[in-house]
Structure 1
Amino acid sequence: MTPYIVDSSAWQESWDRQQEAYLPDREHRFAAMLDAVDATVDGRPPRVLDLAGGTGTISLRALARFPTAEVTLVDLDPALLAIARASLADRATIVTADLSTPNWRSSLPHRDYDAVLTATALHWLPADRLSRLYGEINDVLRPGGIFVNADHMPDDTLPELTKRLAARAHSQRAARYAAGAALSWSQWWERAGADPVLGPLVVQRQAIYPTGHSPEWTPPVSWHLTALGTAGFTEVGTLWRGGVDAAVTAVR
């Protein structure tokens, strides 16, 4: 049994601040996701799959928005899942599964989700695997259900402006780090590794990801829309955009 993290709220806050250094408009994309869920279920409690859910960022916000929602969180990272378990308690079903293989679906409690949501996670998968994963996601949605993926997705029709936006974001992030306003990715993991409960789980994580989550790649929105269409979704489009990030949506 994973040791219980007493101060899960502090780790959640620390994770949020670290992520916001990369994604200043992070909450906007979550709000857009949940607005789409709300429109899809039309007033009834949604059944939500939080894919590559990490610490439970999306699950926690989904439950705040829809208190009676049925939520499943899937991830492989033992350290992040420990934080998620402590934060969500018995309000969500948490599944340990590897998205790099199609077997992840066998651990799910349902195959008729209203929504599959993911954010800033799937860019760790190579192109061929992500294309196949999109088809597998289609398979676990009910007819009319939605998939939303918010990630680094530049607009390929604005290449020069995208470069300037990325440079601006990098400069602002560097300034926050220099001022101590947020931890970097590596600094956050150093803190987690020094924690008496999370530390052993960080060691397990390093065994799972010996070279990190590589490869990391950032195809444009157009690539995702084409892949989602090929995966069999009936509608595909862009739900939200902020700088070099976007959220693509697909309807089964």
Structure 2
Amino acid sequence: MSHSVQAHLDVAPAAYDVAIRKFIPHYEEMLSRAVETLAGLVSPKAHILDLGAGTGAFSQEVAARMPEASLTLLDADPAMLEQARGRLASLGGRAKFLRGSFFDPLPACEAAIASLALHHVHDLSEKRRLYGNIRATLPTGGVLVNVDITLATAPALEKLTRTGWAAHLVACGDTEAEAYARFDAWAQEDRYFSVTEELDALQSAGFAHIDVLWRRGPGTVLLAVA
């Protein structure tokens, strides 16, 4: 799987951390909830795999909250990984960087995390296969914390969520037309499943316990325990 953030979002990797706060409502609250949960569930010295790590924002938050943990950051975009290397240089050997696909054999870890990355998998059967690949690398009791977008399958509910999302984009400087044009552009590469579809996919992949930790607008934090 290849991926370029600059091609997809028309945002240079160096500008991504500012842009994502414009694009995604309640981004910092969502990430904070995920980090808090992760720290409460795994060993302080856990090895954590960040899937689609991007600029390393999620890993940086985890490293600050869990100063004895080690991290492997996986991403298909070399430019984003380079940003992550610079961002996490102070961690030294605690952080490793790996270019690759979600579907490659994954490094063994106590926990896997992902932030706004797994929605690049379009087909639901492929999403199940992805979750199966993550489950296979986790020990019993290991966790997946997935920060992502979900949308209802009911048209009226999806429209309501998108209306609120568009209002956020407008508040951040877009016109309404520009906001909806972004949705159309993102849909060429992104696929937002419903919460029910996500939970079913996780269950079919063999996770023992699954929950919705946080949800506000389109933003969702899912937990799956192996």
**Normalising TM by the smaller chain, what interval?**
0.7 to 0.9
Q: Which runs of structure 1 show a deviation greater than 3 angstroms over 4 or more consecutive aligned residues?
A: 11-14, 211-215
5+ long unaligned stretches in structure 1: 1-10, 180-185, 187-210
Structure with larger Rg: 1
Q: Secondary structure at the match of 2:213?
A: strand
- How much has 1:62 moved relative to structure 2? 0.5
What CA RMSD, in Å, does the superposition of the two structures yield over aligned residues? Answer: 2.5
Confirm or deny: 8 A CA contact 2:73 2:98 kept in the other structure. yes
Partner of 1:238: 212
- How much has 1:143 moved relative to structure 2? 1.3
- Is 1:146 matched up with 2:140? no
Partner of 2:16: 15
Within 1, Cα distance between the matches of 2:168 and 2:30? 19
Partner of 1:119: 115
Partner of 1:92: 95
- How much has 1:155 moved relative to structure 2? 4.0
Confirm or deny: 8 A CA contact 1:52 1:75 kept in the other structure. yes
Within 2, Cα distance between the matches of 1:13 and 1:126? 26
Within 1, Cα distance between the matches of 2:32 and 2:217? 16
Partner of 1:49: 49
Within 1, Cα distance between the matches of 2:42 and 2:150? 27
Within 2, Cα distance between the matches of 1:24 and 1:17? 13
Q: How many residues align?
A: 203
Confirm or deny: 8 A CA contact 1:40 1:114 kept in the other structure. no
Within 1, Cα distance between the matches of 2:204 and 2:19? 35
Q: What is the TM-score normalised by the length of structure 1? A: 0.73
Q: Percent identity?
A: 30
- Give the partner amino acid of 1:22: F
Within 1, Cα distance between the matches of 2:207 and 2:171? 42
Partner of 1:26: 27
- Give the partner amino acid of 1:227: A
Within 1, Cα distance between the matches of 2:48 and 2:134? 12
Deviations 1:122-180 (Å, cap 9, x if unpaired)?
11112222210100100111211110112111245x7534422321321331342359x
Q: What is the TM-score normalised by the length of structure 2? A: 0.81
- Give the partner amino acid of 1:69: A
Partner of 1:133: 130
